[in-house]
Structure 1
Amino acid sequence: MRRIEYKTDAQLASMAAAGVITSRALDAAVDAARAGVSTLDLDQAFRQVLDEHQAASNFLGYYDYPAAICASVNEEVVHGIPGERVLQDGDMISIDGGAIVTDAYGKKWHGDSARTALIGNVSDARRELSEITRAALWHGIAAAASARKVGEIGLAVEEFVRAETGDKYGIIEDFVGHGIGSQMHMAPDVLNYAARDLGPRLKKGMALAIEPMIVAGSIETTTLDDGWTVVTDDGKDACQWEHSVAFHSEGIWVLTAEDGGASELSKLGVTVKPIPS
């Protein structure tokens, strides 16, 4: 069994620095996402912010992955490789990326986050899919603030999606969230759906990447011949939103949100606490 990594508040603060850089790099990539722009252009916008902050990409070179972001368009669920594809009016694109910072002791700490951008005149269906996925993420984070076990996050995500939309959408099961810290992908798995086994206890010092992936049709997927890009088998749209969240000595803090998640979580009755310095 993989061991869960528990961080000190100081180490989580270093992760918050990586998270803020990740957020700002995503700001740049999302701002650049418009009709006529290639997905490679978005990757370059993301990299430029990392360079400005002297941070490294944790995607580039990961199992030989060739870019700093994943750029997944329309029916692409995750891991879309940036390239010559030009965004069209009406597209939706999920942009996933991360940053690495090095602390004063030479230890590396990771950030990981994803957003979906809507390009131009987007259909109501795509707009709704993105909003449901984004809101499901925040409901999962809100549940984590008082949860006893990791699996309560996925339970909250699924309960929200079903309460809002019934069985209209599918929740991907083949790809899940994860622990994060001195590596990008660590124990424990963070499911985006309800499961009988609620997994390990949530404890101070943990950091989790919570990332619901929701589809407009079947949850069955296929990986393309590039070895990375995952698409829906039925060709229907997919959407991903993600944040990394810290559980520190005084509460929770969303590492990849500039305000720690305060503005969104306050709507759900949750108060975030800054990581003690």
Structure 2
Amino acid sequence: MMELKTDTSVDAMYEAGQVVASALTAVRKAADVGVSLVELDEVAREVLRAAGATSPFLGYRPTFAPTPFPAVICASVNDAIVHGIPDGYRLRDGDLVSIDCGAQLGGWAGDSAISFTVGTPRPADVRLIETAERALAAGIEAAVVGNRMGDIAHAIGTVCRAAGYGIMEDYGGHGIGRRMHEDPPVPNEGRPGRGIPLRRGMVLAIEPMLIGGGTDTYRTAPDGWTLRTTDGTRAAHVEHTVAITETTPRILTSRH
């Protein structure tokens, strides 16, 4: 069931969202050639600890997962799209990294993701990330009262398809509130004017996931969590938690 949030609740969610923003900023700053994914996870853990927040990722086990998730960030490198488990892999020059992080603070959740390159960037990776960020911005811009969910999906999908990238059809954004994953689902492709009406008090995690090779297919890695492109091309994932207000969308995970 979808819960409409009060202004007070949205303010509380902003506090959780800012913990997430701080964790992602710290992880991005720490990410360098030779740094392991486990070390990046520890950076995020320390930010959460210092803020008195907990992780909605740690120990999370949806129906598809063979084991509970063992970290506070998802760290997906190169052909990994989402849900990468931080391990001993050490970042290399030119890697494309996507980091997804959540925080639970005061009974409310925040969720956000960034993609970036390490060391010397490949022009194709820069274009992929920039397109993902443009798609996210388009989706957020469409998150206004009077529109429908299909308008958000159409805005994201239009940017991705125009650039020649693939989209994960079975994965997208979601409602968020007291739990990380709530109704309604937020698809990354759809028809404008369709779907549920957008209402003040809805809070959505909007998250484009782009596949660089242009296909829409992916596979699950042996760990049962990581989703990788089937053609080995690179992927990008960006996300913000956004509240729908009477006027413009309010980004609760904004990074300053």
Counterpart for residue 199 of structure 1: 195
Question: Counterparts in 2 of 1:135-146, with a 5 A limit?
Answer: 135-145=134-144
- Per the TM alignment, residue 161 of structure 1 is displaced from its structure 2 partner at its CA by 2.8
In structure 2, the residue matched to 1:15 is 13
Residue 105 of structure 1: aligned partner: none
- Partners in 2 of 1:250 and 1:144 — Cα distance? 10
How far does residue 151 in structure 1 lie from its aligned partner after superposition?
1.5
Q: Give the secondary structure class of the aligned counterpart of 1:15.
A: helix
Structure 1: runs of 5+ lacking an equivalent: 103-107, 260-277
Calculate the TM-score normalised by the size of structure 2.
0.93
Q: What amino acid sits opposite 1:248 in the alignment?
A: T
Instruction: Tell me the CA shift for residue 148 of structure 1.
Output: 1.6
1:141/1:210 contact within 8 Å kept? yes
Between the two proteins, the alignment pairs up a number of residues equal to: 249
8 Å CA contact 1:70–1:95 kept in 2: the answer is yes
Give the corresponding residue for 2:65.
none
For residue 86 of structure 1, give the secondary structure of its aligned residue in structure 2: coil
Distance across 2 between alignment mates of 1:9 and 1:93: 34
The 5-angstrom pairing of residues 234-249 of structure 1 reads 234-249=231-246
Tell me, yes or no, if the aligned pair for 1:12 and 1:248 is still in contact at 8 Å. Answer: no
Q: For 1:109-140, what per-residue CA distance to the aligned partner results, in whole angstroms no more than 9, with x for missing partners?
A: 00000001210111101111011001110111
Residue 124 (structure 2) aligns with: 125
1:24 partner letter:
S
Distance in 2, Cα, partners of 1:196 & 1:206: 18
Mapped contact 1:214–1:238 kept (Cα < 8 A): yes
1:250 positional shift: 5.0
The Cα of 1:177 is off from its aligned counterpart by 0.3
Which of 208, 213, 217 is residue 212 of structure 1 equivalent to?
208
Contact 1:154 1:192 (C-alpha < 8 Å) held by counterparts: yes
Tell me if structure 1 keeps the 8 A contact 2:144–2:198.
no
Q: Percent identity?
A: 44
CA-based RMSD of the aligned residues comes to: 1.4
- CA contact 1:213–1:239 (8 Å) conserved in 2: yes
Runs of 4+ in 1 over 3 A off after TM superposition: 248-251
Q: Is the 8 Å Cα contact of residues 146 and 199 (structure 2) preserved in structure 1?
A: no
CA contact (8 A) 1:33 1:117 kept: no
Task: Give 5+ residue unaligned stretches, structure 2.
Answer: 62-67
Counterpart selection for 1:97 from 101, 123, 126: 101
2:3 aligned to which of 2, 5, 8 = 5
